[in-house]
Amino acid sequence: MGLVCRDVWKVYGTGAQAFLAANPCPSADELKAAGLIGAVRAATLVVPRGEIFVIMGLSGSGKSTLVRCMSRLVEPTAGDVFFEGRSLLRATPQELIDIRRHKMGMVFQSFALLPHRTVLGNVSFPLEIQGIAKAARDERAHHMIELVGLKGREHYYPRELSGGQQQRVGIARSLAVEPEIWFLDEPFSALDPLIRREMQNEFLRLQRLLSKTIVFITHDFDEAIRLADRIAIMKDGEVIQIGTPEELVMNPATDYVAEFTKEVSRAKVLTAGSLAQPTIPGEALGAMVGARSRIAEIAGQAVASSLPLGVVDDDYRLIGKIERDAVIAVLVG
C-alpha cells in the first residue's frame, strides 16, 4: 500500500483540537460558529503504489493543505496519515526528516532553484544534504539531468534557462533522492500553454520509466484528464468524490461535481473500452485500438474507417468493437 489518509482534519483557530475532540464530525456551519476554519474536513483516501492521484478543486478548497498534511509540512488537527503502513503522525522528528530526505519528493509551483548554483549544483543539493560523497551525488545528478532532457546544460545557472527548463531542474532535483512518493502542487501552472503541454508529456514519459506513487494538484481539468489514474474533487475542505476521469464526468456524485465537470469534452474523457460492443464471430474489423484510448485520440481512425475498430485490452486480447456512429455521437455531444 502507498499512502492512506484516514479522517484527516486541519482546523485553524484557537481551541481547534479541543473542539474536534468534543465534536468529532462538525459541519462547516458549526466550525464557523465556533470561530474556526475547516481547511480540511474528514478527508479519507487511499493512493496505491504507482498511481497518479490528482486532487482538484477551486482556490480555497483545501487541496494544497491536504497535500501538506500528507507530508506533515502542515500538522493535521485530527486523523492519521499512513505511508507504507506506518503512521507519519507518530513518527519522531528525526524519523520524519529521514523519510522526507530519502522517500519523498516535492515539486511546487515556484521553481525555488538556488540562483547561485548551476543546474548540476541544484540537482545534487538534496544528495549533499544527505551526506552522499561528491562523486556519487554528481553521478546521480547527471543521470537525472539527462532523464529530464537537460544534458549539456549542467553548468548553466537558473537565470540562463527558460521557465520550462527551470521546472525540469526542479523535477530532476526532486527525483535525485529517488523518492517512493512524489508530491506535485500545481507544478506547471506558471508556464505558458505550449511549455505546459511539453512538461505534461515529459511528466508522463518519466512516470512510464519510473512508476512513482504521485499526488498531483491542479485546477485544470484537461491537465487532470491527461495525467490522472484517479481524481479527487474537493470543496470547502471536503473530498466530495474520488474516481477515474470517466466516472466523475459520467456519474457525478453531487450537483457540485456535475457543475465542475460539465464543460469537459466527453471525447477527451470516454475510452474506447466504455463504448465497445461485442463482436460477431468472423466479423471484419479495421485497426485495433487500446481499451484505455480516449475517443478524441482514435476519432480520426474511427471516422475514416469503413469497418468497426477492434478494441483490445492491455494484453492485446480482443474485447469488442467500436462503431463509427458511436464515435461520431460522442464528438457531436
The H or E element that residue 244 is part of is none
Across the 333 residues of the chain, what is the mean pLDDT of every consecutive 10-residue run? 92 94 90 94 96 94 95 94 93 91 85 91 92 93 90 95 90 89 88 83 87 92 92 96 94 94 90 93 93 93 94 94 94 84
Give the C-alpha distances (Å, rounded to integers) separating 303 from 272, 278, 298, 306.
Answer: 14, 19, 9, 8
pLDDT at 126: 92
* Structural domain boundaries in the chain: 3-264, 268-331
Q: What are the b/e assignments for 249-260, b being 16+ CB within 10 Å?
A: beebeeeebeeb
Cα(68)–Cα(76) distance, rounded to whole angstroms? 9
Pairing of strands 213-217, 181-185: parallel
The domain 268-331: what is its CATH number?
3.10.580.10
Cα(99)–Cα(298) distance, rounded to whole angstroms? 43
Asked if the domains 3-264 and 268-331 are classified in one and the same CATH topology, the answer is no
What CATH homologous superfamily does 3-264 map to? P-loop containing nucleotide triphosphate hydrolases (3.40.50.300)
Contacts of 134 (CB under 8 A, 6+ apart): 128
pLDDT at 42: 96
Pairing of strands 86-87, 78-83: antiparallel
Per DSSP, helices labelled H in 182-293 are: 193-210, 221-227, 245-250, 255-261, 266-269, 272-275
Q: CB–CB of 36/12 below 8 Å?
A: yes
pLDDT at 198: 85
Percent of the chain scoring above 70 in pLDDT: 100
Of 163, 164, 161, which Cα lies nearest the Cα of 153? 161
For the record, the C-alpha cell of 4 comes out as 492512506
Per DSSP, helices labelled H in 78-181 are: 93-103, 119-130, 134-147, 163-176
The H or E element that residue 13 is part of is none
Of 222, 108, 114, which Cα lies nearest the Cα of 158? 114
pLDDT at 308: 95
Would you say how long the chain is, in residues?
A: 333
Residue 153's identity, in one-letter code, is: R
This prediction's pTM = 0.86
Q: Is residue 208 exposed (0-12), middle (13-18) or buried (19+ Cβ within 10 Å)?
A: exposed
